[in-house]
């Protein structure tokens, strides 16, 4: 079998095909306006992002079932590596890091359903940089909220947006500020903040049953503030009608924290990196 030529595409028909594949695999319509698309005929594609200096991001690799183990995935990865070098990137990350994963679709390579892809990346020199889990829990019963006299847990007003942006910038700089701006415009009742006078120490958001992100300023971590905000958030989600809470990305160091709140792992992923 001759491997189809790998080419970069901005063609509407190519993107329509990609979106149809993503939809069939359960991905909500993602924001890929700044993504780079490499295709190999109608047998496979790779989505990446080259908008940041020094770092390229590989979001997703797909090859049709009947076309696997024929070199198509390897050709797509090789083409993206070369394209990343041309853009002066010194590393490629799959899919990125917390708060900084442009073109995000899933938090890495699925260790159960994408074993062949994982081995392919290893053969191209990628190395593990972290384990990530998707988790969920039911929201059927009322959640007991601990008492705290120092922090007010509330929905933000427009007057809180500057302090919220500052809290995000000092905890998880990256894309999260944009996420919270969009959520505020959509529905500020799906955001909670922990306030002490004018200071915002922690923040969280959700959309329907999808929880997160949640963040705590570094100087307030380990003091129970994240626990306080999470319980408020889950109870508010339950009151708003969500039957469950789920999220796609938790780094391994946070696994025990969420398990302590009744979350269980639904999927496991590997984050990867390739130095160029």
Q: Is 149 exposed, middle or buried (0-12, 13-18, 19+ CB in 10 A)?
A: exposed
Residue 173's pLDDT band (boundaries 50, 70, 90)? low
C-alpha span between 45 and 10 (Å, rounded)? 12
C-alpha span between 18 and 47 (Å, rounded)? 9
pLDDT digits (tens, 9 = 90+) for 29-46: 667 889 999 999 999 999
For domain 141-242, the CATH superfamily is Gcn5-related N-acetyltransferase (GNAT) (3.40.630.30)
Question: In this structure, what DSSP letter does residue 143 have?
Answer: P
Give pLDDT, residue 149: 86
Q: Which residues pair with 134 in a beta bridge?
A: 267
Q: Is the dihedral of CA 165, 167, 173, 178 positive or negative?
A: negative
**CATH of region 6-132+270-275:** 3.40.630.30
Give pLDDT, residue 47: 97
Q: What percentage of the chain exceeds 90 in pLDDT? A: 76
Give pLDDT, residue 171: 85
Rounded to two decimals, the pTM is: 0.88
Tell me the two tokens of residue 73: 């995935």
Tell me the two tokens of residue 121: 């990346």
- Rounded to an integer, the average pLDDT of 144-166 is 91
Question: In this structure, what DSSP letter does residue 97 have?
Answer: B
Q: Is the dihedral of CA 175, 267, 260, 271 positive or negative?
A: negative
- Rounded to an integer, the average pLDDT of 57-79 is 93
| Chain CA centroid to CA 81, Å | 22
Give pLDDT, residue 3: 77
pLDDT digits (tens, 9 = 90+) for 192-223: 999 998 899 999 999 989 998 899 999 999 88
HSE (CB half, 13 Å, CA atoms) of 256?
A: 1
Whether 229 contacts 202, CB under 8 Å: yes
Residue 174 has pLDDT above 90, yes or no: no
Domain ranges of the chain: 6-132+270-275, 141-242
6-132+270-275 and 141-242 have identical folds: yes
pLDDT digits (tens, 9 = 90+) for 211-268: 988 999 999 998 899 999 999 999 999 999 999 999 998 888 889 999 999 999 999 9
């Amino acid at each position: 079998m001759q491997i189809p030529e790998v080419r970069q595409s901005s063609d509407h028909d190519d993107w329509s095909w990609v979106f149809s594949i993503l939809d069939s695999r359960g991905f909500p319509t993602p924001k890929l306006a700044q993504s780079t698309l490499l295709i190999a005929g109608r047998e496979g594609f790779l989505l990446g992002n080259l908008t940041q200096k020094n770092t390229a991001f590989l979001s997703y690799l797909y090859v049709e079932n009947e076309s696997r183990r024929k070199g198509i995935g390897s050709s797509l990865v090789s083409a993206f590596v070369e394209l990343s070098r041309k853009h002066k990137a010194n590393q490629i990350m799959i899919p990125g890091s917390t708060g900084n994963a442009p073109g995000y679709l899933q938090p890495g390579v699925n260790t159960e359903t994408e074993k062949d892809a994982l081995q392919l990346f290893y053969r191209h020199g990628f190395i593990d940089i972290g384990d990530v889990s998707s988790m969920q829990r039911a929201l059927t019963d009322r959640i007991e909220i601990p008492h705290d006299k120092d922090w007010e847990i509330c929905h933000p007003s427009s007057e809180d947006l500057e302090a919220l942006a500052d809290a995000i910038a000092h905890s998880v700089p990256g894309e999260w500020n944009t996420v919270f701006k969009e959520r505020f415009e959509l529905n500020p009742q799906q955001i909670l903040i922990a306030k002490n006078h004018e200071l915002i120490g922690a923040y969280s958001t959700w959309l329907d049953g999808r929880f997160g992100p949640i963040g705590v300023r570094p100087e307030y971590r380990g003091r129970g503030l994240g626990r306080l905000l999470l319980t408020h958030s889950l109870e508010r989600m339950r009151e708003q009608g969500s039957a469950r809470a789920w999220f796609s990305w938790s780094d391994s160091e946070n696994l025990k924290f969420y398990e302590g709140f009744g979350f269980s792992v639904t999927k496991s992923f590997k984050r990867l990196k390739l130095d160029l």
